[in-house]
Amino acid sequence: MFQEFSYATPALLAHLVPIYSLLCFPDLVVRVSGRFRWRQQHRRHYPYEVLGKADARGKGDYHIDYVPAPRITEADRTNYQKSLQRALDNKLYLLLYGNTYGAPDGKSVWHFPEKIYENEETMRLRAESALKSVLGGLDNTYFVGNAPMTHMALKQTDSSVSSFKRFFFKSQVVGTTKYHIGKCKDYAWATKDELLEYFSEHRDFLNKMIIHIR
């Protein structure tokens, strides 16, 4: 029997990469291309001097000096895991260091944001409360679905702590690259590979839970 129940919200996805698909409809293409040909045949042609396009174009070729932003940031070079401006080609997950339910002897450990389920109407509301207590608000976060994505049943060898279940919810960061993380001794924004090093005892479980696509 599980006498206590708690759940953890998975770390936030720091970078979202939308995927767009282009649908092509043959009849629409025909109508659009036909309209374009009609306009080309019947449009009026004006001298450039009348429209002023000759002066507007200028003379010679234009050259724009463009230097793309580097993919390797200062946080990458210094391995500063408190920054969201790192590992730009990976998703990042929020980890907290401090006290958590089920930790051996009440020691500080790395864990996801979490709270013990009490009497909330839904577990989703408790998950939101857990994240809000750490971030101070939910203005730039988005919860994916109302149900947990998975759960973990943990049996304790310490008789002072009852066995419990930890439920995982997924939340995403939207439109910001900086948070003021509170109510913990330390925190880190970790990639999936780094996360698996933090939780080596649950490596197989987390590897299956987090579907990671670069």
pLDDT 10s digits, 88-105: 888 899 999 998 877 877
Query: Which pLDDT value is given to residue 16?
Result: 34
The pTM assigned to this predicted structure is: 0.67
Query: Which pLDDT value is given to residue 41?
Result: 65
- Domain positions in the chain are 4-18+76-209
pLDDT per residue as tens digits for the range 201-214: 889 988 888 875 44
Query: Which pLDDT value is given to residue 50?
Result: 56
Mean pLDDT of the chain: 75
Residue 61 has pLDDT above 90, yes or no: no
Statement: 4-18+76-209 belongs to CATH 3.90.79.10:
yes
Q: 164-168 and 4-8: which strand pairing?
A: parallel
